[in-house]
Structures are given as structure tokens and as C-alpha cells.
Amino acid sequence: MTAYLEGHLAPVPDEISAVDLTVEGTLPEELSGRYFRNGPNPRPGEDPGHWFTGHGMIHGVRIRDGRAEWYRNRWVRTSLFTDGAAFLTDKGFDRSAVQANTHVIHHADKILALVEVGLPYEMDRELNTVGACDFGGRLTTSGMTAHPKELDGELHFFGYGFGPPYLTYHRLDAKGELVESRVIDVPGPTMMHDFAVTENHVIWLDLPVVFDFDKAGKTMPYTWSDSYGARLGVMKRTGEVTWFDVDPCYVFHVGNAREDASGRVVLDGVRYTPESFNSTWEQIGGERNPAAHLVGASLHRWTLDLATGRATERQLDDRAVEFPTFNEDRLGRSSRYLYAVTEGEVVKYDIESGASQVAPVGGHAGEAVFVPAFDARAEDDGWLMSIVDDRLLVQEAAGLETVATVRLPRRVPAGFHGSWIAD
């Protein structure tokens, strides 16, 4: 058996529904909505060749009036899932033949299942697949990142391609209309998984993991390149980009970014060294024990000075973490708290003081999504939601105390990203 089909990564064989879930503790009364989390889940008998390439499956829990009303899991029915459509055809790339397995978000009354190499797929609130979405035909480039950023009602995102244009910036307005698309010049087909925004800038991660045509059709076709270089780009809203060379590294996920009092751009992210990236890539590709895939990735900060053209880098913590999250009401602005997960634990960072606290969760810790309290008086006034094996864990964000555990009717495979979609 391949490692990404075993243990906490092992897929489930079918779709189920359950109602009136057992709740231990007390669900906050003001939590009324749905927690959805996406991740790869190949069908029985399928070996997708890499953890990242299984069909998307969304697991959902409906919460209302202090009750967990239902759980259900549904595959995202892309054309790849329903028809076996090939992503690469004699006519080029079919942007709808994707796995849609990485994230699920809500914007402008649409729920979108996302993967960065193709079109998003719209879902309804019961997790039925509506279909591929190209925003009225206006999204004509390769696809949509799995990590869009919503700032002041607008959704900023990008797509990257295997051929020119390698990187394109896009912006949706509050109504979900695609109102801007702009090509960004980068030297090659970099795998750009995430990016950041501030009040006045977009930050690009042009890093040395690039598309490898020799691997296409065999496995996840990306590889580390010693010759590509590593740089961060700060783009003004007018489109001008200032590039900063940085030490070779890779970043799957960023935390928040902001502009400080001196006008410098400050970015926090989880940084992989070349060695830790290659080790991780082998592990999640099934070559080694995937339980160790977080080793070597730690929280760092880059400060980018537009006045001097100088970039500085500082390690904020030495423990292995991933999936950084924060109160997204502070997106692009100054924020104090950052949350992350490590093996069996949720970690809370106080970025101002440098302090951190840890809460063991008794299982494989999934991404902890921050849900703000309705009348929040502090940045960390709210809850963290995460799936831990066969449980949905609800913690107070201020002190990481568990206030409720929702017992799910089955183990949920370790996956990627999710969202709280409030009523």
C-alpha cells in the first residue's frame, strides 16, 4: 500500500450522511452555519500517484442552536470525476478536468471548491456540485489559486500556468464579477501555491519549485530547481512590481501581511529549506512515511523595504508547523495572533510578544479555522474549528480551551483547507 493511502491519509470509500450528532461540551449559541473542509479522497481502487492529486471531497457539519444537525461528505463532481476527462488533451489543457481538492470558500453567494491548476467548482449548501465556474467566461487563463484573499469585499486571486503567461493576477468585486486581470512577468512555470495582500500591495512568491514536463502524467509534476532563484515581489495596485531576492526556500502557506509604520511590507509564512522541501515532497508522494511531513518547516518573517530595495528574514519559531491561520477580519492589516498546527497540537503565536502556547488535541490536528465572535472586543475573541480524526473540535481562540467536541460518524482523512460559512 502506498503511504498516502494509509493511516490518517487513508481515503474513505463512500459518501454518507448522519443527523443529530453527539456533542460533548457546549457549542456556542451564536455559531449558526456550516463548517466545510476539503481534501483529496481517491475512489476505492484508485491510486492517484501523489497525495495532492486525489479527487476532492468536502466534509461538512451543520451547526445551529447549539446542536450539530448533520454531517455529510461529498465528492466534488468535476468532469475528471464523472467522465474521466483528461486534463491534457490534443487541444490543450481542459481547465474543468481537475481534482478541486484543496480549499472551499464563500464569496458573493457562491461556495467554491478550489484547486490551483484549474477552474473552481461551485457547490450548494448541501454539498451538491453545481458545476465549473469561469465567472461568466471572463476567467480565460489557467485557473484560480486555492488561496484567494478577500479584502474590503473584493476577492484577490491569481492563476499560474505551465506555459506563458506563467502568472496572472485577478480581482473579483463584491458581486462576484471579474473586474481585473493582469499578467505578471515571472521567468518560468513556478508552483505558486499562496500569496498575500496588504491594504495597498499584493505580495508574490516566485520560488524555485517549477513544472517538470518529464513528470507530467506520472505524478505531481513539480520539482526543486537550483537554477530558478528565489524572490518575493511587492506589487502596487497600479501593477508595478518590485522584486526582492531571498535565500532559496519554498512557502506553501503564508500567515498575514501588512505595511508597518515605515511603509515596509511585513510577511509571515511557513518556510521550507531546500532539504526539508525535497524530503517533504518525497514523503507526500508516497516514498517515505508521511507522518513526518511537517519536519523542517518553521514560521519566518520577511520584511521588504521598498525605499531601500532590501529584504530581511527572521525565524520566529523553531518548531515544525503548517497551515497558519488568523482572524481574517485583520487581513492585510496589523494583527497580533497567528494559529498553526503541528503533530497532535494547535499552536497560538503572539506575534507582538514572541510568546506562544500549545494545546494537545489527541489526534492528527487539522487546520484550525478562526471564527470571530459576533460582538468581538479583541482580535482573538472567537473560536477555532478543526477536524481531528473523527471529531470536529471547537476551541476558544483566546486560551485554546476546548468548549465543544462534535463526534463525527466516521474518521475524516487528513486534508487541506476549510471555511466557516455563517448563515
Question: How many residues can be counted in the chain?
Answer: 423
Alpha helix (H) ranges present in 50-202? 79-83
Q: Give 102 or 282, the one with higher predicted confidence.
A: 102
Q: Which position has the grid cell 484550525?
A: 368
Burial of residue 355 (number of CB atoms within 10 Å: 0-12, 13-18, 19+): exposed
What Å distances lie between residue 73 and 36, 37, 40, 53, 284, CA to CA? Answer: 9, 9, 12, 18, 23
CA–CA gap between residue 99 and residue 77 (Å, rounded): 9
H helices, E strands: number in the chain: 2, 34
What is the percent of the chain with per-residue pLDDT over 90, rounded to a whole number? 85
Is 8 annotated as contributing to ligand binding?
no
What average pLDDT does the chain have? 94
Give the range of the structural domain holding residue 311, as residue numbers without chain letter: 3-422
The H-or-E segment that residue 407 falls in is strand 402-407
Is 55 annotated as contributing to ligand binding?
no
pLDDT of residue 92: 63
* Res 207 pLDDT > 90: yes
Is 201 annotated as contributing to ligand binding?
no
Question: Closest Cα to residue 385, out of 372, 93, 273, 277?
Answer: 372
Residues contacting 258, CB < 8 A, separation 6+:
198, 199, 265, 266, 332, 333, 334, 335
Average pLDDT over residues 217-224: 80
Burial of residue 409 (number of CB atoms within 10 Å: 0-12, 13-18, 19+): middle
For residue 411, the SS3 value is: coil
- 223 close to 215: Cβ distance less than 8 angstroms: yes
CA–CA gap between residue 273 and residue 255 (Å, rounded): 18
* Band of residue 289 on the pLDDT scale cut at 50, 70, 90: low
CA–CA gap between residue 403 and residue 26 (Å, rounded): 6
Query: At residue 45, what are phi and psi to the nearest 5 degrees?
Result: 90, -10
State the total domains in the chain.
1
What does the pLDDT look like over 78-128, one tens digit per residue? 999 998 866 655 556 778 889 999 999 999 999 999 999 999 999 999 999
* Res 292 pLDDT > 60: no
What is the percent of the chain with per-residue pLDDT over 70, rounded to a whole number? 95
* Res 293 pLDDT > 50: no
CB atoms within 10 A of CB 131: 12
For residue 349, the SS3 value is: strand
Burial of residue 190 (number of CB atoms within 10 Å: 0-12, 13-18, 19+): buried
C-alpha of 40 from chain center: 13
Residue 148 sits in a domain whose CATH number is 2.130.10.10
Is 59 annotated as contributing to ligand binding?
no
What does the pLDDT look like over 38-91, one tens digit per residue? 999 999 999 998 999 999 999 999 999 999 999 999 999 999 999 886 665 555
On the CB side of 40, how many CA atoms lie within 13 Å of its CA? 21
CA–CA gap between residue 144 and residue 121 (Å, rounded): 10
